[in-house]
Amino acid sequence: MASFMDMLGSMMQQGMAKSGATRMSNAFGGRGGLEDLLGGLGQMMGGSQTAKAPTSASSGGMLGNVLGQLANNKAALGGLGALAGALLGGGSSAARGAIGGGGLAMLASLAFSSMKKAGQPLESPPRALLEPQNDMERQALENDAQVIVKAMINAAKADGQIDRDEIEKILGKLQEDGLTPEEQDFFKTEAQKPGDLSQLVASVGGDIELAVEAYAASLLAIEVDTEAERDYLKQLAAELGLDPRVTGHIEETLGVRV
**Stretch among 61-65, 99-103, 117-121, 183-187 having the lowest mean pLDDT:** 61-65
All residues at 6 or more sequence positions from 194 whose CB lies less than 8 Å from its CB, including other chains: 157, 161
pLDDT score, position 36: 42
Q: Based on the number of CB atoms within 10 Å of its own CB, is 136 exposed (0-12), middle (13-18) or buried (19 or more)?
A: exposed
Contact criterion met (CB below 8 Å) for 129 and 105: yes
> What confidence tier does 245 reach under pLDDT thresholds 50, 70, 90?
very high
| Whether residue 30 has pLDDT greater than 70 | no
Going by pLDDT thresholds of 50, 70 and 90, the confidence category of residue 26 is: confident
Q: Quick one: pLDDT band at residue 87, thresholds 50, 70, 90?
A: low
pLDDT for the residue numbered 203: 97
Closest CA to 200 of 232, 168, 223: 232
pTM of the full structure: 0.82
> Of 44, 106, 36, 34, nearest to 74 (Cα)?
44
Q: Which of 69-78, 121-130, 220-229, 247-256 has the lowest mean pLDDT?
A: 69-78
Q: Is the dihedral of CA 62, 64, 69, 74 positive or negative?
A: positive
Report the pLDDT value the prediction gives residue 217, as an integer from 0 to 100: 96
Chain segment 150-186, per-residue pLDDT in tens: 999 999 999 887 878 888 989 998 998 889 999 999 9
Supply the pLDDT for residue 62.
47
